[in-house]
Amino acid sequence: MSSKTDNNLGHFGEFGGIYVPDTLMTPLLEVAEAYEEARQDPDFQQELSYYLREYVGRPTPLTYCPRLSEACGKARMYLKREDLAHTGSHKINNCIGQGLLAKRMGRKKVMAETGAGQHGVAVATVAALLGMECDVYMGEEDT
């Protein structure tokens, strides 16, 4: 088991940092390196923004809730309508970025675990969009 609690971002103490099996350290470091490169690449950021806007439907609207506002007194209450994003939840926001990063890294297949199913739907949707294979796993107790 490898562990790392200090890096250039700070010291994470006894209960923070990275604790993973040695077999996962190399791929995790590859993802971290690819992310740092992509984060600073204007072309990657432009592509991510395009998909978030044109495919996901961001920014999602705010809906004013007058009755909830009235019940709360002077507060004006709004709902951020992530349910209006493609696939019906916020999950796809992260999956778009991860899918683009995986494709940039030359990966042909993505895998996901899902509980209630929303994450699995989002990962599968992005995989289909990007022409990637996809496996989604769901625990027997989650079905």
Q: Which residues form the catalytic set?
A: 65, 90
Give the model's pLDDT for residue 139: 87
- State the average pLDDT over residues 86-103: 97
Average pLDDT, the chain: 91
The closest of 61, 56, 58 to 87, measured between CA atoms, is 56
Say how many residues make up the chain: 143
Q: How confident is the model at residue 18 (pLDDT cuts 50, 70, 90)?
A: confident
**Distance, CA of 49 to CA of 78 (rounded, Å):** 25
Residues 6+ apart with CB under 8 A from 84: 57, 60, 61
Q: Using 50, 70 and 90 to split pLDDT, how confident is the model at 1?
A: low
The answer to whether the beta carbons of residues 81 and 62 sit under 8 Å apart is: yes
On the question of pLDDT at 50 being above 90, the answer is: yes
**Domains identified in the chain and CATH numbers:** 42-142 (3.40.50.1100)
Q: What is the mean pLDDT of residues 26-47?
A: 96
Q: What is the pLDDT of residue 3?
A: 54
20 confidence band (pLDDT: 50, 70, 90) = confident
Q: Which of 134, 51, 54, 61 is nearest to 96 (CA)?
A: 51
Total-model pTM: 0.83
Higher-pLDDT residue of 17 and 93 is 93
What amino acid occupies position 46?
Q
pLDDT at 34: 98
Contact 133, 107 (CB under 8 A): no
